[in-house]
Amino acid sequence: MIFLRNDVDFLKQKVEERQGELLDLVKTLITYKTPAPPARNTQEAQEYVGAHLKKLGYTVDMWDVYPNDPNVVGVLKGTNTGKYKSLIINGHMDVAEVSPDEKWIGDPFIPVEENGHLIGRGAADMKGGLGSALFALQLLKEYEIELPGDITLQSVIGEEVGEAGTLQCCKCGKGAEADFAIVVDTSDLHIQGQGGVITGWITIKSNQTYHDATRRNMIHAGGKLVAASAIEKMSKVIQGLQELERHWAITKSYQGCPPGTNTINPAVIEGGRHAAFIADECRLWITVHYYPDETYEKVTKEIEEHILNVSKGDLWLKDNPPSFTWGGTSMIEDRGEIFPSLEVDSKHAGVQLLSQSHYRTFHAEAKIDVSPTVTDGGWLAAEGIPTVIYGPGDLTNAHAVNEKVSIDQLVDFTKVLLEFIYTWSHKEKEEENLNGL
């Protein structure tokens, strides 16, 4: 199979000539109101994506993850599947919530162009990336460019609220196998990995409930009641978490991450039942950020061991130790989430090729670093698929009022993606040397 440089140059030229159509496609995606929360609102938008992919000859699978929130996976089999490299392009259809009191220049779901930017909810995070990917696939089809390797596009739901539509693709085996994956989420066109995030609940619970009038007996000399307020005891747990967080900050590091990026945030505290009772239960909701070379299993074990050791030093907690619940499938449904970490191997053939594709468009080296936030990319990496985050838009605009993305960046991103798709698909599976591509 011969790689033709002029095919790529032709396609990139067409992106320039037809950028109005690219913008129209992104604008169409923005007009679908898909904020999460409240979620359960992506059906029409996903049907649009599915129909678009079917027109391009993709085999499309759409199924509900939650009612009115379906995933869409489109697969285009290559002309020589067994011999040439396959690719997953992944993006999420849900966008950040919009509060009624936000001061937008207009309706957040009626996109406008202004000063070289496209403004609308999801423009940066991440309907710009998803729309650009769809347009790239459209150009390949319209100009009858046949690809020897398989191409899969995943348009998933729930990323904004930890519902991990991507995880459901992996569980169902629908588009979860490939030689490389690009999550076209907000990275300002840096090639990125990510640390991980997991939420958890730490619960302190007394085995008995006491009236408020018994407080004197449990805190003063001669009271003879060995009991405690679960709320007050939670302060020792919080102190223990702070000690561990500081310990992590001086004993752990990861290149590309600012020192102390691995944090333990006591985000929400709930406890007690009534002012006439001693608090017999207290729950602490925490968010843990960890480095790309760590797993959530490892960091949660460290937290549990440390807090249980702290508890052994307390006269009441040693007999009433805290319990732990980690992760969850939805911040809406069960108030929990997991985003696995993702490491980027700069020497991997896919990363090198993406860097080269970036260079040929920008005449500047691609930045390979670590995202300060998280995406669904960790789920693909957990399946053993080499994965990177690479997409238009920057984090100052993600979730922001008057969210915007540079039009030039959308165009340039589409060029890079087209070159990468074409070149990667023409790379033989056993090939490792990129020289000469």
Which contacts qualify for 107-115: CB closer than 8 Å, 24 or more apart? 108/403, 109/30, 109/31, 109/32, 109/33, 110/31, 111/26, 111/27, 111/30, 111/31, 113/23, 113/407, 114/404
CA-wise closest residue to 30 among 393, 416, 332 = 393
* Spatial separation of the C-alpha atoms in residues 214 and 119, rounded to whole Å: 60
Q: Please, is 217 exposed, middle or buried when counting C-beta atoms within 10 Å of its C-beta (0-12, 13-18, 19+)?
A: middle
Contacts of 360 (CB under 8 A, 6+ apart): 419
Helices (H), 252-332: 296-312
* Spatial separation of the C-alpha atoms in residues 394 and 249, rounded to whole Å: 27
Furthest CA-CA distance within the chain: 90
- Annotation marks residue 97 as catalytic: no
Q: Which of 7, 125, 150, 159 is catalytic?
A: 159
- Calculate ∠ Cα 22-28-34, nearest 5°: 130
Q: Which of 69, 94, 188, 337 is catalytic?
A: 94
DSSP line for 98-135: --TT---SS-TTS-EEETTEEESTTIIIIIHHHHHHHH
Q: How many helical (H) and strand (E) elements, i.e. helices and strands, does the chain have?
A: 11, 16
CA-wise closest residue to 40 among 127, 157, 177 = 157
Task: Kindly give the pairing relationship between strand 281-290 and strand 112-114.
Answer: unpaired
One-letter amino acid at 88 equals I
Q: How far is CA 283 from the centre of its chain?
A: 26
- Annotation marks residue 94 as catalytic: yes
End-to-end Cα distance, the chain: 13
> DSSP letter at 278?
-
Q: How far is CA 189 from the centre of its chain?
A: 16
* Spatial separation of the C-alpha atoms in residues 6 and 246, rounded to whole Å: 55
One-letter amino acid at 255 equals Q
| Sheet order of strands, 404-406 included | 112-114, 117-119, 404-406
Residues taking part in catalysis: 94, 159
